[in-house]
Chain A
Amino acid sequence: MDQPQRTFTNRRTLLRGGAALSGAAVAVAGLAPNAVLAQDAAPSRLTQVIERGRLIVGTGATNPPWHYEDADGQLIGFDIEMAKLLARGLFSLTDEQLANREEWSQYLEFVVEAADARIPNLLSDRIDIVCQFMTITPARALEVEFTIPYYREAVTLLFLADSPYTGTEDITGQGATIAILENPTAVSMVQNGVADAEVSTFDSVANSVLALDSGRVDATAIDLSTGQHLAAQDPGKYKVGVDSWQPQTYAFAVKPGDQRWLNWVNTALHEYLAGLDFSYYQTAFADNFGVELEPPPAGFPIEYR
């Protein structure tokens, strides 16, 4: 008795299921083109930034000469200058506007972040771009998209001025302890320069230098640019090693998947580095690193040499 009834029920369920399925199929078929359209229509961040009238940049505040605060608590440094140059391109700022903080700060907002927060802030749309001495690595490039480089950094040793050492050659073999900012490759980064070094890692550049000041370490492995900045500020206290190693590339980073925005930043950066707007990059470079760059030669584009 039960058997046919159950079959009947099952068949009905089956029919209902089939109807639901085909309904779903219709719905999917109907929705799919819309979804694609919606994706096409999603405005690039470039459009969003222009409509907002303000570029939101993630950067730091504790690492001279890259990004730090002056005695009035205002952000300055090379990354800050580069961000201003992006705003100049986006909003056609004049030189007068660029020279006046009250003027350009209407078009440029900084979100000051710890180095660890660079990628999360980008992915959660809190910022449009990272301008915070970010080293390109293939692993990071899986999470964000890097622009073209704007600086090539290297590692050097910072010594106290009265240190008997001068560079990696004479400190190797002495069993020295060397401080460095904590990072995934900190130990190998130091030992690539000083093979027998004992490595001591710190949470900030300032604390790795404090370890040198207080005599906890014999040297601090530090970015060449930062080392030069510190030694220039206080020549009686520090000296920079005679050599540097492990070059690394700094670039800006944007959220992945927005080709229009990435292309715009790359184009703008490229012209600051090697084109019409080179003098702006040159000035920022001289102001922050104390080095006067030669303009790119005319004729055959420098990129293909």
Chain B
Amino acid sequence: MASIIDELPLLLQGVVATLQISMLVVVAGSIVGVFGGLGLLFGPIWLRAPLRGYVDVVRGLPLLVTIFIIYYVPPAFDIDISGFAAVVVALSIFAGAHISEIVRGGVASVAKGQSDAAKALGLTFWPRIWSVVLPQALPSIIPPWTNTAIEMVKGSSLAYLVSVSELLFQTYKVVGRTGAAMEIYIAAALLYFAINFAVSRFGAWLERRVRYAL
């Protein structure tokens, strides 16, 4: 037990990297997702077609393949991209595609009468979306969005394969040196659980808030 406490600082360094990657990815993925989802629903054909292509292609690619493409292809064109940046970009592309689809589904589920009523009040497109449709879509967007956020925390462990010292890699390093595999893996599992439990509580809190707002 003492040995795990000794190793905790190294594992916590990994937690910091895991949190950095996950937060950047969830924020970037959500921004891409909101505009992607709205574009899929309301965009003109020249916007809708490439967005549909993006969502379908990315959803059809294993996350690891996306990371490898972003990490290994740019250096061939003399573009330097760090492992950390490659993982954040790849996961954001991945999260963006998934959240686009979530937002599209959520917004589409809002009764068309709401939008029509807003139109009748003279609201133009963006106020209609921001103030009337999106708030009503949030209760059905937040739960799958939370799932995607948790997936991204777990997906960040793939960063190990492009030399980023996140939680899983730190765990491997400590196990490699100490040989105390069982204890360290359990400690790592508890740390991942703690992060994801916090994310899921945050999701539940958001969900209550948006319901209250209605």
Q: Which B residues touch A125, using CB under 8 A?
A: 75
How long is the Cα–Cα vector from A112 to B82 in the complex, in angstroms?
A: 12
B150-184 interface bits toward A, Cβ cutoff 8 Å, 1 = contact, 0 = none: 00000000001111010001001111110101100
Contact A210 B181, CB 8 Å, known A62-B172, A62-B176, A204-B172: yes
Smallest beta-carbon distance B162→chain A, Å:
7
Contact between chains at B172 and A210 (CB < 8 Å): no
- Residue in B7, B72, B182 whose beta carbon sits within 8 Å of that of A214 in the complex: B182
At the interface, is chain B mostly helix, strand, loop or mixed? helix
Q: Are B173 and A213 in contact (CB under 8 A)?
A: no
Q: Does A230 contact B (CB under 8 A)?
A: yes
Contact with A along B20-55 (1 / 0, CB 8 A): 000000000000000000000000000000000000
User: Complex Cα distance A74/B39, Å?
Assistant: 48
Q: A73-B10, A112-B165, A204-B172 are in contact. Are A124 and B76 (CB under 8 A)?
A: yes
**In contact, B176 and A205 (Cβ under 8 angstroms):** yes
Q: Please determine whether B6 and A114 come into contact, CB atoms closer than 8 angstroms.
A: no
Most chain B beta carbons < 10 A, residue from A62, A205, A206, A210: A206
Interface size bracket, B side: 20 to 34
| Cβ-defined contact, A111 with B10, below 8 A | no
A121 → chain B closest CB, angstroms: 8
Residues 55-108 of A contacting B (Cβ, < 8 Å): 61-64, 68-71, 73
Name the residue among B6, B7, B10, B179 with the largest chain A CB count within 10 angstroms.
B179
Contact A206 B163 (CB under 8 A): no
Check if B182 sits within 8 Å of A210, measured CB to CB: yes
How far is A69 from B11 in the complex, measured between Cα atoms in Å? 12
Given contacts A111-B163, A114-B161, contact A62 B6 (CB under 8 A): no
Chain A, interface SS category: mixed
Q: Does B114 have its Cβ within 8 Å of any Cβ on chain A?
A: no
In the assembled complex, which residues on chain B have CB atoms less than 8 Å from the CB atom of A69? 10, 173-174, 176-177
Is B13 an interface position by the 8 A CB rule?
Answer: yes
- B164 closest partner in A (C-beta): A112
8 Å CB contact of A71 from B6, B162, B169: B6
Residue of A nearest to B176 (CB): A62
Q: Tell me the bound Cα distance from A98 to B169 in angstroms.
A: 27
Known: A73-B13, A112-B165, A120-B72. Is A68-B176 also a contact (CB below 8 A)?
yes
Sample of 9 A–B contacts (CB below 8 Å): A61-B176, A69-B177, A73-B10, A113-B163, A114-B160, A117-B161, A117-B162, A206-B179, A209-B181
Q: A117-B161, A117-B163, A206-B179 are in contact. List 9 more A-B contacts (CB 8 A).
A: A61-B172, A61-B176, A69-B173, A70-B177, A111-B163, A125-B75, A205-B176, A206-B176, A210-B181
Q: Which residues of A contact B (CB under 8 A)?
A: 61-64, 68-71, 73, 111-114, 116-117, 120, 124-126, 204-207, 209-210, 213-214, 230, 233-234
